[in-house]
A = this chain, B = another copy of it.
Amino acid sequence: MPALPRPKHRPLRRPPPKPYHHGDLRRVLVDAALQLAERGGAAAVSVREAARRAGVSPGAPFRHFESRDALMTAVAEEAQRRFRAEIETALSEVPADQPLRRFRNFGLAYLRWAIRNPAYFEIISSGRYFDHDGAGELSRDNAELIAMSERMLAEALAQGALRTGELKPVLIAGRALVYGFARMNIDGHFRRWGVVKAETERTAEAILDLFIEGIAKRPPAAAG
């Protein structure tokens, strides 16, 4: 049965149930947007629904985000922050003089994060929210991560650990491999033969190792 309409008189000396000012609307909207993305993909995020969940009028979000894209950009920034933190934690576990092992940890952290945070990853990777006004930081941060991976492989090459002289194809192939796997996971290419997350992560590790074995110099034992 429907709840009886409450008396309109404000409760005496009690904090009004709905203060005019929300207090932390921006934060709540970003969180709501993420929740919506987790449920139905980035395309299912709507400003109005986020406002609804925040218990606020449909126009209110536009005080904090000039457009839906701006909201999504904020989500992407939050995602990028967490992503980068995860990557740096993973890299801190390997000494700097082992570039190939660092590269492996980098890739593994990338894949794991993408698998465990598909909504975040979708929003980051779609690339739609990098070209807007406030997204300069996002692009720069992303470029830094790429540059880090480039440095690792350059060092590995300098140490003679790679079997190729040309670095550029290796870099792009590495990015494509890892990005492709993460996106296949998001785009439902694995749903068909129902994969659990743990198994997906093991597969991710396997293809990463395959790639590294492919670009690394073979153990000299075989070379006589």
Question: How far does the alpha carbon of A213 sit from the alpha carbon of B218 in the complex, in Å?
Answer: 13
A42's closest neighbor in chain B, by CB?
B43
| Nearest-neighbor residue (CB-CB) of A164 within chain B | B210
Type the 1/0 row for A163-197, where 1 means its CB is closer than 8 Å to any CB of B.
Answer: 01010111011011111110110011100100000
* A207 CB within 8 Å of chain B: yes
A203 at the A/B interface (Cβ < 8 Å)?
yes
State whether the Cβ of A206 lies closer than 8 Å to any Cβ in chain B.
yes
Interface check A148, CB cutoff 8 A: no
Question: Given contacts A180-B176, A224-B223, is CB(A169)–CB(B125) below 8 Å?
Answer: no
With both beta carbons as reference points, the residue of chain B lying nearest to A211 in the complex is identified as B173
Q: Do A187 and B222 form a contact, CB below 8 Å, given A180-B176, A214-B213?
A: no
B173 engages A207 (CB within 8 Å): yes
Contact of A173 (CB < 8 Å), options: B125, B126, B139, B210: B210
A2 to B69 CA separation, bound complex (whole angstroms): 35
Cβ-based interface call for A103 (8 A): no
Assembled-state Cα–Cα distance A76/B168 (Å):
33
Hey, what's the 0/1 contact readout for A195-224 against B, CB within 8 Å counting as 1?
Answer: 000000001001101110111001000111
A169 with B224: CB separation less than 8 A: no
| A interface with B by C-beta (< 8 Å) | 43, 125-128, 130-131, 139, 164, 166, 168-170, 172-173, 175-181, 183-184, 187-189, 192, 203, 206-207, 209-211, 213-215, 218, 222-224
20 contacts across the A-B interface (CB closer than 8 A): A125-B187, A127-B187, A168-B203, A169-B203, A169-B207, A169-B209, A169-B210, A170-B210, A173-B210, A175-B180, A175-B189, A176-B176, A176-B181, A180-B180, A180-B181, A183-B183, A210-B215, A214-B215, A222-B222, A224-B224
